């Protein structure tokens, strides 16, 4: 019965997602057109990467507020390194993100600083570092070195960023469901004291998820630079909240212990679609919905999911 409920919850996002796609397809021409689909996937791949890292962090019961500014900082570093080629640019951006993640991880696991505070510090530090490195300006990337391929290129007619996101989600899902690491993540989030008493490597698990989240934010930064042709130190504002929202809409409990990689992807796509549909709606010219509406709609989705979650948590507590 409870698994059915869990299934319904994860599938619930998928159902809403499909309904939204159906709505768009019926209402707008070109909604299901190749251009819209591919550019939608290309753009949202960045958010998908960040949300994947966030998903693991939240499943341990933690939070990572630094992802947005880490992505911005990494985009600057990737842009600086981009003349040396795709791989150096990619590695530099990813490494920058990983560095922030490791720093967060050290603060949280070694110095026992609350994740909220530690990653808030990480957020401010990464943001400042990005602005400092870029002197408050966008840093153009090299178009000759092939760096932009990773954001703008296609393989088999499908955007490379989307391929990357799919690969990351497959690995993430595998790790969550078929590796001890994934189960330990859920155990730590489901009861840290119990996990410790069970002899699980709690600190190592926590360290790993924050490092991973930083790495994902770094990869998103590389995407940002490659897709838009510039390292952008002022981007990334609010991305952390958007990715937390995606994760939660995907049914992952904010308190940790329950979560799904696949449903997180659904959450990203669902919240991304709200924006996409608003664009189409405005394009029709019948009504002019300001961009603010997307925040309101996203907020509404988030609230509904959180209400459902808190009821579930209540039931668990009653049974415990």
> How far apart are CB 253 and other proteins at their closest, in Å?
8
What is the Cα–Cα distance from 122 to 125, expressed in whole angstroms?
A: 5
By CB under 8 A, residue 171 contacts other proteins = no
What sign does the dihedral 269-231-63-275 (CA atoms) show?
negative
Cβ closest to other proteins, residue 160 vs residue 253: 253
Q: Of the candidates 174, 237, 296, 314, which one interacts with other proteins according to CB under 8 A?
A: 174
Only one of the segments 63-71, 139-147, 195-203, 262-270 lies at the binding site for other proteins (rule: CB under 8 A); that segment is: 195-203
Q: Of the candidates 125, 152, 191, 274, which one interacts with other proteins according to CB under 8 A?
A: 191
By CB under 8 A, residue 205 contacts other proteins = no
By CB under 8 A, residue 133 contacts other proteins = no
Tokens, residue 249 = 């809409």
What sign does the dihedral 48-50-51-53 (CA atoms) show?
positive
By CB under 8 A, residue 250 contacts other proteins = no
Residue with tokens 């991305």: 239
Sequence-separated (6 or more) residues with CB below 8 Å from residue 236: 67, 68, 69, 70, 71, 72, 75, 127, 221, 224
By CB under 8 A, residue 198 contacts other proteins = yes
By CB under 8 A, residue 19 contacts other proteins = no
Q: Of the candidates 177, 291, 296, 314, which one interacts with other proteins according to CB under 8 A?
A: 177
Positions in 254-313 near other proteins (CB under 8 A): 257-258
Sequence-separated (6 or more) residues with CB below 8 Å from residue 68: 50, 123, 217, 236, 237, 238, 239, 240
Q: In whole angstroms, how far apart are CA 102 and each of 70, 95, 124, 242, 308?
A: 12, 10, 15, 22, 34
Only one of the segments 23-31, 43-51, 173-181, 237-245 lies at the binding site for other proteins (rule: CB under 8 A); that segment is: 173-181
What is the Cα–Cα distance from 73 to 89, expressed in whole angstroms?
A: 13
> How far apart are CB 311 and other proteins at their closest, in Å?
14
Tokens, residue 198 = 């069970």
> How far apart are CB 4 and other proteins at their closest, in Å?
11
By CB under 8 A, residue 125 contacts other proteins = no
Q: Of the candidates 124, 179, 237, 314, which one interacts with other proteins according to CB under 8 A?
A: 179
Only one of the segments 20-28, 183-191, 210-218, 280-288 lies at the binding site for other proteins (rule: CB under 8 A); that segment is: 183-191
By CB under 8 A, residue 237 contacts other proteins = no
3-state class (DSSP) for residue 230: strand
Tokens, residue 128 = 């400042």
Cβ closest to other proteins, residue 73 vs residue 200: 200
Cβ closest to other proteins, residue 180 vs residue 299: 180
Q: In whole angstroms, how far apart are CA 111 and each of 41, 120, 186?
A: 39, 15, 22
Only one of the segments 60-68, 194-202, 213-221, 236-244 lies at the binding site for other proteins (rule: CB under 8 A); that segment is: 194-202
Neighbour count for residue 136 (Cβ, 10 Å)? 9
Q: 223 and 236 in contact (C-beta within 8 Å)?
A: no
Given its phi and psi angles, is residue 156 left (phi above 0), alpha (psi -120 to 50 degrees) or beta? left
By CB under 8 A, residue 69 contacts other proteins = no
Interacting residues with other proteins (CB under 8 A): 1-3, 6, 174, 177-180, 183-184, 186-187, 190-191, 193-200, 253, 257-258, 315-316, 319-320
């Amino acid at each position: 019965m409870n698994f059915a409920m869990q299934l319904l919850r994860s599938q619930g996002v998928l159902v809403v997602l499909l309904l939204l796609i159906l709505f768009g397809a019926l209402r707008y021409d070109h909604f299901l057109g190749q251009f819209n689909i591919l550019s939608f996937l290309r753009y949202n791949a960045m958010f998908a990467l960040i949300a994947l890292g966030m998903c693991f962090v939240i499943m341990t019961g933690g939070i990572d507020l630094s992802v947005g500014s880490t992505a911005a900082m990494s985009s600057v570093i990737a842009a600086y390194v981009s003349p040396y080629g795709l791989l150096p640019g990619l590695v530099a951006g990813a490494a920058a993100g990983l560095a922030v993640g490791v720093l967060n991880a050290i603060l949280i696991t070694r110095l026992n600083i609350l994740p909220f505070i530690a990653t808030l510090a990480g957020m401010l530090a990464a943001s400042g570092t990005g602005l400092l490195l870029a002197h408050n300006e966008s840093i153009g990337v090299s178009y000759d070195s092939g760096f932009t391929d990773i954001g703008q290129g296609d393989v088999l007619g499908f955007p490379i960023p989307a391929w990357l996101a799919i690969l990351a989600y497959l690995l993430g899902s595998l790790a969550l469901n078929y590796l001890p690491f994934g189960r330990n993540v859920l155990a730590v989030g489901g009861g840290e004291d119990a996990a410790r008493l069970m002899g699980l490597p709690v600190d190592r698990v926590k360290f790993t998820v924050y490092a991973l989240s930083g790495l994902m934010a770094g990869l998103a930064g590389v995407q940002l630079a490659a897709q838009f042709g510039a390292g952008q130190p002022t981007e990334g504002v609010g991305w952390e909240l958007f990715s937390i929202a995606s994760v939660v809409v995907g049914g992952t409990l904010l308190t940790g212990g329950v979560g799904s990689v696949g449903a997180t992807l659904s959450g990203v796509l669902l919240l991304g679609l709200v924006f996409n549909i608003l664009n189409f709606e405005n394009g029709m010219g019948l009504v002019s919905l300001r961009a603010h509406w997307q925040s309101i709609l996203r907020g509404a989705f988030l609230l509904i999911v959180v209400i459902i979650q808190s009821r579930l948590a209540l039931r668990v507590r009653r049974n415990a």
